[in-house]
Amino acid sequence: MGFKDMVAADIAATFLDSNFFGEPYRIEGKTVLIVIDNDQLKERQGGQDLAVAESATLFHASAADLPPRKAPGSSLNVNGRECLIDDWTEAMGVATIALRENIVA
């Protein structure tokens, strides 16, 4: 087993496992285990909180479980809510996605 295979096994068996960090969410109608990481999101934002009019989140998921990669500004349905993609990167089979949802009062 090569290094990449070992990393892929660790990602599936530990990081995205629902017994450890993963939580099931509906992404584009499909149940996907994701790991919410709002600490990393806040770090990306320079430690600043978001404005009251929007909420944002950042999550990690297996790229194989997600739809094909979408460009920033595209929409992604998460748990029945349409969110806008701010950033979508992939590395070693894990996608990191930052989302924004405008809240209409």
42 — pLDDT class (breaks 50, 70, 90): low
The secondary element (H helix, E strand) that includes residue 9 is helix 3-10
> In the prediction, which pLDDT does 61 show?
94
- Is 53's pLDDT higher than 60? no
Per-residue pLDDT averaged across 35-61, rounded?
Answer: 68
Residue 93 burial (CB < 10 Å; 0-12/13-18/19+)? middle
Beta strand pairing call for 54-62 and 75-78: unpaired
Cα 102 from Cα 54, distance rounded (Å): 5
Provide the Cα torsion 70, 44, 52, 101; round to 10°. Answer: 10
Q: In this structure, how many other beta carbons lie within 10 angstroms of the beta carbon of residue 67?
A: 12
Give the bridge partners for 31, in sequence order: 26
Q: Give the number of other CB atoms < 10 A from CB of residue 55.
A: 13
Classify 3-102 by CATH class: mainly beta
**pLDDT above 60 (res 75):** yes
pLDDT for res 7: 64
